[in-house]
Structure 1
Amino acid sequence: MHPGQPPVSAPEHPFASDETDLHRNAPVPDPACLYGLVGEVARAGSKGNESNPYAIATNFLAYLSCAIGRGTFLQIGNTEHHPRIFSLHVGRSGRGRKGDSLALVMKLDEFIRAQSPVLCPQIHRGGLSSREGLAALIHDGFQQGSQEVPAIEDKRLWVVESEFANVLQQSRRKGNTLSTALRDCWDGVCIKPTTKNNRVFASNPHVCLSGAITPNELTALMSSKDLSNGFANRFLIIWAERTKITAFPQPTPPKEIEYLATRTQEVLNFAKADSYLENNWLQMELSPPGKWHYGQMYRNILAQDLGNERVSAILERRAPMLLRLAIVFALCDLSTKIEIAHLDAALAWINFCSDSVQYVFSTAKESALTERVSRNSHLLLQYLTDRGQSSRSDILRECFKGHLSKLEIDACLDHLLNTSPPQIQIRQVPRVEGKPGPAALMYSLV
């Protein structure tokens, strides 16, 4: 089933129109995603072949964020944000060109590793199966019989899961805590053993992940538990398939690989990626214009409730994800100041992720209904701003001129009452003395 079409067995929405258009375009990313060095790598890797430049860019972002390490950080409140990125490339089998989107990034790593291996992270190409197996890749040392196994000092680990369905399947097994361990890694929390017999610890992990999966596998294997426990919303999920058909793809010229690898090496040297034993020594800052710009984003775009509960759960961590991306974009400009341009590039990725998640996890009909609820909610907010407060019947009669059904009004009110924080509130107003009936419910802005 194509993700843009609704399943045959999908229940009819109570106020869905039979005329709802069930066709829609695949997500189209903003070219602003391809900012700076990230864009140069993406364009070079897709030139003359079928690779999607945005898929290449997500893999490069994940690789670069891993190589930079946790010495670089941005302080927001009491939280220290390190540039750890989990990306998930979604595309249909044979059309996503998932393997091709990794090829250039691997060549860049190979070139840098030959020049200065200490700048490069450990790479694990798939096959994660358990919390213990993940911890063993960056362990703190352990006793094996009479032998002392020394600790792995470099905690930078880039996991490449070309078959991300494997991770989701392993996580569904009873007693398996792989998804919990990956959540801890995204947060930068130490991986501790789950049993007394296992003594493999991994402190201060800096794990980044590049995954690839088909839409059918993702929707079938992503459980409600993955949504509720925050596993899904730690991923930058993008829809990317080939943009052209080329029978004879051209390789990236060696001179271009050398140039891009040298540029990448400059970024890693600037971030002192070889100082991986130290944590939180290079502090990033939002410039004054950047701070103002992020404040506007946070209160508006990043605070939007997208209506669909499942989609909203997957996009819950847009704000910290945006900051992590902005850190990488700033470092690519050899700067510790995060400027408006870096935030805009990061926001373009967040918007692309939002569009991709809605495309994969919502049918065309559900997306149309969500958009309609959002549009009606905006009209109601404007009405209550002018009116102050209003009853439900007045909202129907005066705000929507009687054109909305009871169910549509309820969907609109529920949406505004359940945003975080709520945008409207309900008050009971006593009836005029002498008039029968219960107290009236009045709706007003919070």
Structure 2
Amino acid sequence: MICNTLHDEQDFVPATPNHDDLEIHRNPPQPAEICLYGLVGDVARAGSTATETNPYAIAANFMAYLSCAIGRDPYLPIGNTWHHARLFVLHIGRSGRGRKGDALALTIRLAQAVQQLKPEFVPQIHRGGLSSREGLVALIHDGYRQGGQNIPAIDDKRLWVIESEFSNILHHGRGKGNTLSAALRDCWDGICLKPATKSNRLYASNPHVCISGAITPHELMALMTSREMTNGLANRFLMIWAERSEILPFPKETPQITIDALALRVMQILEFARTAKHDDFLRMDLTPQAQRRYAQFYLGELNDNSAGNRVTSLMERHAPMLLRMAMLFALTDLQLNIDVEHIEVAMAWIRYTNESARYVFNSASDEVKIVQVRQITERIVEFLKERGQASRREITVECFQRHQTKAVIDAALEQLLNMAPPKISIKLIHRPKETPGIPTKIYRLVEAGPAIKEGLC
């Protein structure tokens, strides 16, 4: 067998080929070129030209920085929630091959160039690591009294956190009584950070915190506990697998003239996103065409739960994540209307992060089983459409002619039942009192609601 490089970072171990090779070999995630849209793509290409750095890793970190610099003024109302273009990014790659530090270098140079032009446009950048809720709040606090002295508030709540060792956050989150994980979840949501204890009066209103994290797959697998998978910390991150795109012994520096030109374009966006040019907060909206395209994704890929429990839990916030990225791409075009192309680009990033999560958390053999179960669920749905309803035995005998195992069919039925909303329901048919035995389970499709029938959200 060949060692799985995702779970063991040792070099290739030769082995005798066998017939299972097709189930252990697979390509790493391949992002679509459309991800490198507009200014984001230009920054990525500038930083990756004549270097080993992966352009998509550069793009993701630049998006995190830009989403932070833009701030909370632009908003997109979805239901009763105002979404801001606020992103958490996690770059996954093997040690030495991910070029995780290099993926940040160009964006830091850009931030420095903008700082020279207009300091107030640049958010606070924190590279010291995070260890507690109190430490995070102290960076953007609303002011407090220490002894007899009043400590003035930090008015600018924009904070770009660079966590080159994201494993530190996961380590601290394991500590008893540590509420850093909850604080980060609140930051992604934009909720005010209130004191965790009565003795600590530090708080921060309206935080706008964005994160660029980096971690190896080995550390991520070892430290990502079920708590992080289920409490919502992990699924707030745009996780991408990215490693060096080529091998160059002498990579070249991006010319300063290129940095300065890109910084001017960043300045344009930040100037556009400031409410000083507008009457109030900047409301963003989806065009009718963009609404229809988003609805198609929402009713399909964005709510697909066939990738296994771990990956499905990581996909639970892909819909708002897509909208936040679409906001960002629209703002880079200096417009408040989100168009179809912005939805398409954002969806390409969602597919990339989905593929990355599957690559890290699912083995190749897991993927084979996932494909098999998906095919079985589709066949069951078609069978129930024709029959209206069917018993477990009828599904086994008539739908599959006994050619599928009980375990596979059960997995498919469980997946259909666990969809939100469920795709099928169970009706129990009780036997007559004089006939002993357990009730018969009848499976039938759940009628789609009007939104699904019309293809609208």
Common fold by TM > 0.5: yes
Aligned match of 1:204 in 203, 206, 209? Answer: 206
2:168 paired residue number: 166
Q: Is the 8 A contact 1:140 1:151 kept in 2?
A: yes
Q: Deviations over 1:390-413 (max 9, x none)?
A: 122221222223221111111111
1:407 paired residue number: 407
Aligned match of 1:36 in 38, 41, 59? Answer: 38
Kindly state the Cα deviation for residue 432 of structure 1 after the two structures are TM-superposed.
9.4
Paired residues for 1:278-427 under 5 Å: 281-427=281-427
Q: Is the 8 A contact 2:164 2:214 kept in 1?
A: yes
The one-letter code sitting in structure 2 at the alignment partner of 1:321 is M
Q: Is the 8 A contact 1:155 1:205 kept in 2?
A: yes
Q: Is the 8 A contact 1:6 1:364 kept in 2?
A: no
Q: Deviations over 1:140-198 (max 9, x none)?
A: 00111111110000000000001111111111111111111111100101111112221
Q: Deviations over 1:3-35 (max 9, x none)?
A: 55699xxxxxxxxx9686111111111111111
Give the Cα separation in 2 of the matches to 1:85 and 1:177: 20
Paired residues for 1:178-327 under 5 Å: 178-272=180-274, 281-327=281-327
Q: Is the 8 A contact 1:131 1:177 kept in 2?
A: yes
Q: Is the 8 A contact 1:34 1:54 kept in 2?
A: yes
Kindly state the Cα deviation for residue 307 of structure 1 after the two structures are TM-superposed.
4.1
Q: Is the 8 A contact 2:6 2:218 kept in 1?
A: no
Q: Is the 8 A contact 1:68 1:273 kept in 2?
A: no
Paired residues for 1:38-77 under 5 Å: 38-77=40-79
Give the Cα separation in 2 of the matches to 1:432 and 1:444: 22
Aligned residues: 435
1:147 aligns with 2:149: yes
Give the Cα separation in 2 of the matches to 1:44 and 1:399: 55
The one-letter code sitting in structure 1 at the alignment partner of 2:289 is P
Kindly state the Cα deviation for residue 336 of structure 1 after the two structures are TM-superposed.
0.3
The one-letter code sitting in structure 1 at the alignment partner of 2:108 is M
Q: Is the 8 A contact 2:194 2:202 kept in 1?
A: yes
Q: Deviations over 1:276-323 (max 9, x none)?
A: xx9970000000101111111111111111341111111110001001
Q: Which SS does the other structure have where 1:212 is aligned?
A: strand
Give the Cα separation in 1 of the matches to 2:169 and 2:206: 22
Moved more, 397-406 or 173-182: 397-406
Q: Which SS does the other structure have where 2:377 is aligned?
A: helix
The one-letter code sitting in structure 1 at the alignment partner of 2:211 is L
Identity of matched residues, %: 53
The one-letter code sitting in structure 1 at the alignment partner of 2:239 is I
1:12 paired residue number: none
Kindly state the Cα deviation for residue 429 of structure 1 after the two structures are TM-superposed.
3.5
Moved more, 258-267 or 201-210: 258-267
Give the Cα separation in 1 of the matches to 2:203 and 2:29: 41
Change (3 A) 1:357 1:193: same
Change (3 A) 1:197 1:383: same
Kindly state the Cα deviation for residue 126 of structure 1 after the two structures are TM-superposed.
3.4
Give the Cα separation in 2 of the matches to 1:273 and 1:249: 41
Q: Which SS does the other structure have where 1:123 is aligned?
A: strand
- TM normalised by structure 2 equals 0.91
Q: Which SS does the other structure have where 1:341 is aligned?
A: helix
Kindly state the Cα deviation for residue 380 of structure 1 after the two structures are TM-superposed.
1.2
Q: Is the 8 A contact 1:424 1:445 kept in 2?
A: yes
Give the Cα separation in 1 of the matches to 2:190 and 2:283: 17
Change (3 A) 1:93 1:221: same
Give the Cα separation in 2 of the matches to 1:44 and 1:77: 39
2:96 paired residue number: 94
Q: Is the 8 A contact 1:307 1:415 kept in 2?
A: no
1:27 aligns with 2:20: no
Q: Is the 8 A contact 1:70 1:279 kept in 2?
A: no
- TM normalised by structure 1 equals 0.93
Paired residues for 1:116-131 under 5 Å: 116-131=118-133
- Segments of structure 2 that go 5 or more residues without pairing to the other structure are 10-18, 447-457
Give the Cα separation in 2 of the matches to 1:3 and 1:317: 28
Kindly state the Cα deviation for residue 273 of structure 1 after the two structures are TM-superposed.
7.3
Kindly state the Cα deviation for residue 52 of structure 1 after the two structures are TM-superposed.
0.4
Q: Is the 8 A contact 2:166 2:215 kept in 1?
A: yes
Give the Cα separation in 2 of the matches to 1:148 and 1:434: 82
1:111 paired residue number: 113
Q: Which SS does the other structure have where 2:23 is aligned?
A: coil
Give the Cα separation in 1 of the matches to 2:22 and 2:433: 47
Which structure has more RCO (C-alpha within 8 Å, separation ≥ 6)? 1
Give the Cα separation in 1 of the matches to 2:93 and 2:279: 36
Q: Is the 8 A contact 2:7 2:221 kept in 1?
A: no
Q: Is the 8 A contact 1:126 1:163 kept in 2?
A: no
Q: Is the 8 A contact 2:322 2:343 kept in 1?
A: yes
Q: Deviations over 1:44-83 (max 9, x none)?
A: 1100000000100110000000000001100000000011
The one-letter code sitting in structure 2 at the alignment partner of 1:177 is T
The one-letter code sitting in structure 2 at the alignment partner of 1:265 is M
Give the Cα separation in 1 of the matches to 2:270 and 2:276: 8
Give the Cα separation in 2 of the matches to 1:6 and 1:112: 41
1:135 aligns with 2:131: no
Change (3 A) 1:213 1:388: same
The one-letter code sitting in structure 1 at the alignment partner of 2:124 is Q
The one-letter code sitting in structure 1 at the alignment partner of 2:322 is L
